[in-house]
Amino acid sequence: MKIEALYHEPTYTLTYVVWDEETRDAVIIDPVLDYDPLGSQTSVDALKELDAFIAKQELGVRAILETHAHADHLSGSQYLKRKYDAPLVIGEKITVVQETFKTIFDLPDEVPIDGSQFDELVADGETVTFGSIPVEVIATPGHTPACVTYKIDDALFTGDALFMDDYGTGRCDFPKGSATDLYQSIQKLYALPDETRVFVGHDYQPGGREVQWETTIGKSKANNPQLKGDTPETEFVTMREARDATLKAPRLLFQSVQVNVDAGRLPGESGTGIRYLKLPLNLFGPSDEVGQIKT
């Protein structure tokens, strides 16, 4: 299998194209729809770059895989689904995330919470084949309840569960996230052979280094500053919860989640022909009518 990483600098996101050199069958993992929050404007610049790569390599896109409902970028999956007529795949626990955030965003009744916006919901331990590419599903909840890692050949695509071995792990303070669950999830990954390759969902370039996206299970177990192979669960959970308590919400949290739980679909047009996102006000600190935080 061949792997190409495309880095989306505004959101620190890695999108991957994985393909079979013989058949040219390909899957795309975690595509990004560009979004400018100041003008509240979307564009498909990153997706056009992805298109150009697919055309150059003469690939046939057989599936679009989401590791989870992202909280830091809008998914470009609907653009790709329409262009390549490829199924959209996510972990089966997306229903838990949909139910949680439908209430938070007061989403309309026509937004289902049974996962039916996606073409295929996959379960832990399942192997699904797209064209000539077998994909093993490993449930890795913690960052969100629906997070999955995809294993293709000797490569893991870990989304926001496990980052580069000099950075750490995903945060666990989103609704129904769990540091305990994340610890147990990563133990499943650490049980794999040390030479197993790890392709991360984001790279935040600690110390200002160049962007990186590939490490190994062995390097992660030896070097990960937040969770080494011998880190006790209580130590990790204490660290993760304390660190998460200091973190600001992701810059595109509200915009991205309400789109991504609906499989990357933008909200429908209103009677004026304009699409509207919903932004909850003071969700993390409810206020009175003059904007003063309630005590």
Quote the pLDDT of residue 286: 86
Cα–Cα nearest to 155, from 175, 173, 141, 134: 134
Quote the pLDDT of residue 28: 98
Quote the pLDDT of residue 126: 98
Residue with tokens 């580069």: 164
C-alpha torsion 40→176→104→203, nearest 10: 0
Give the Cα separation of 270 and 267 in Å (integer). 9
Give the Cα separation of 34 and 288 in Å (integer). 35
2-260 belongs to which homologous superfamily?
Ribonuclease Z/Hydroxyacylglutathione hydrolase-like (3.60.15.10)
Quote the pLDDT of residue 109: 84
What are the residues whose beta carbons fall under 8 Å from the beta carbon of 60, sequence distance 6 or more? 23, 24, 25, 26, 131
> How does DSSP assign the chain, residue by residue?
-EEEEEEEGGGTEEEEEEE-TTT-EEEEES-EEEEETTTTEEE-HHHHHHHHHHHHHT-EEEEEE-SS--SSSEE-HHHHHHHH---EEEETTHHHHHHHHHHHHT--TTS-SSSTTSSEEE-TT-EEEETTEEEEEEE--SSSTT-EEEEETTEEE-TTSB--TTT-B----STT--HHHHHHHHHHHHTS-TT-EEE-SB---GGGPPP--EEEHHHHHHH-SS--TT--HHHHHHHHHHHHTTPPPPTTHHHHHHHHTTTTPPPPB-TTS-B-----SSTTS-B-TTSPBP-
Q: What is the pLDDT along the chain (295 residues), one digit of tens a residue?
A: 999 999 999 999 999 999 999 999 999 999 999 999 999 999 999 999 999 999 999 999 999 999 999 999 999 999 999 999 999 999 999 999 999 998 888 888 888 999 999 999 999 999 999 999 999 999 999 999 999 999 999 999 999 999 999 999 999 999 999 999 999 999 999 999 999 999 999 999 999 999 999 999 999 999 999 999 999 999 999 999 999 999 999 999 999 999 999 999 999 998 999 999 998 888 888 888 888 888 7
Quote the pLDDT of residue 20: 98
Quote the pLDDT of residue 107: 85
Quote the pLDDT of residue 154: 97
Token pair recorded at residue 22:
């013989």
Quote the pLDDT of residue 61: 98
Strands 133-139 and 127-130: antiparallel
